[in-house]
């Protein structure tokens, strides 16, 4: 089973750059997209009804902002929009699809760069998400949590760690939460299988960053430890263009 995650930075924009053709060619079993920037009334039939896929959209109340969408060949047992906390759910950041063998979280984690208030929102979002995940694990659920986490975990995960250690996305408090997440038994699939490989999933549009590969690894697939025996591969598809992020993937 191939599961992909991609911050598309505007799903309507990337549709015009060949998204549907790429899906048709790649044939992921599940595709999770983030930062869709679309409202319910803007979802075209072409985006909603991609051949062979069920589609689910969680949209922000604010127009042209945030949002996630999940495409899946197999119909989920259940679909949950958010985690029941209005100030997080109103931004359309979480979509949960439950399948027979795992529960999949498609998440666009907040960016904390705007100001201290937004950084606090991001850290509270992280903690609320972890608490919600733990309630599911106690019910015996195996979890996959994918998406744009908006944090590079370690120095290997960004080109210029020293220059960015005082900026949101690589702050000690954000990196410490990633450590905490891992301490609870959530596994970074790419780093688990590729211990020393340097690969990035996001590049600034400025200064020819992608051309120079001055990037950050901020898009992840984390899984609970009880799924590791099914994990075959984890990859970062940095040759795929169309967004400032590239897709990341796992094979189970």
As a whole number of angstroms, the distance between CA 137 and CA 135 comes to 6
179 flagged as catalytic: no
As a whole number of angstroms, the distance between CA 76 and CA 54 comes to 9
Nearest CA-CA partner of 188 in 154, 164, 158: 154
| Contact yes or no for 235/190 (Cβ under 8 A) | yes
Residue owning tokens 């900026």: 167
- CA angle at 107 for the pair 237 and 5, rounded to the nearest 5°: 20
Nearest CA-CA partner of 233 in 245, 221, 246, 247: 221
Active-site residue identified among 29, 115, 148, 188? 148
**CA distances for 82 relative to 87, 116, 126, 198, 248, angstroms:** 10, 24, 13, 33, 22
As a whole number of angstroms, the distance between CA 243 and CA 252 comes to 26
**CA distances for 65 relative to 184, 204, 234, angstroms:** 31, 19, 29
Q: Quick one: tokens of 4?
A: 């992909």
Active-site residue list: 148
């Amino acid at each position: 089973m191939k599961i992909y995650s991609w911050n598309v930075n505007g799903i309507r924009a990337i549709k015009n750059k060949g998204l549907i053709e790429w899906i048709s060619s790649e044939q992921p079993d599940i595709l999770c997209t983030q930062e869709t920037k679309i409202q319910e009334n803007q979802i075209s039939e072409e985006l909603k009804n991609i051949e062979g896929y069920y589609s689910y959209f969680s949209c922000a109340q604010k127009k042209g902002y945030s949002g996630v969408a999940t495409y899946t060949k197999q119909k989920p047992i259940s679909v949950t929009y958010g985690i029941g906390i209005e100030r997080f759910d109103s931004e359309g950041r979480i979509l949960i699809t439950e399948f027979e063998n795992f529960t999949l979280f498609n998440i666009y984690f907040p960016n904390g760069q705007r100001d201290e208030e937004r950084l606090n929102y991001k850290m509270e979002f992280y903690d609320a998400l972890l608490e919600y995940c733990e309630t599911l694990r106690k019910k015996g659920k195996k979890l996959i949590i994918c998406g744009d986490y908006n944090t590079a975990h370690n120095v290997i995960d960004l080109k210029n760690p020293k220059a960015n250690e005082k900026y949101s996305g690589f702050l000690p408090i954000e990196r410490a939460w990633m450590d905490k997440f891992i301490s609870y038994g959530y596994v970074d699939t790419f780093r688990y299988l590729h211990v020393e490989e340097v690969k990035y999933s996001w590049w600034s549009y400025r200064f020819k960053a992608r051309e120079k590969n001055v990037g950050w690894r901020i898009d992840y697939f984390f899984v609970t430890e009880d799924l590791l025996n099914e994990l075959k591969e984890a990859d970062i598809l940095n040759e795929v263009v169309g967004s400032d992020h590239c897709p990341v993937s796992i094979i189970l």
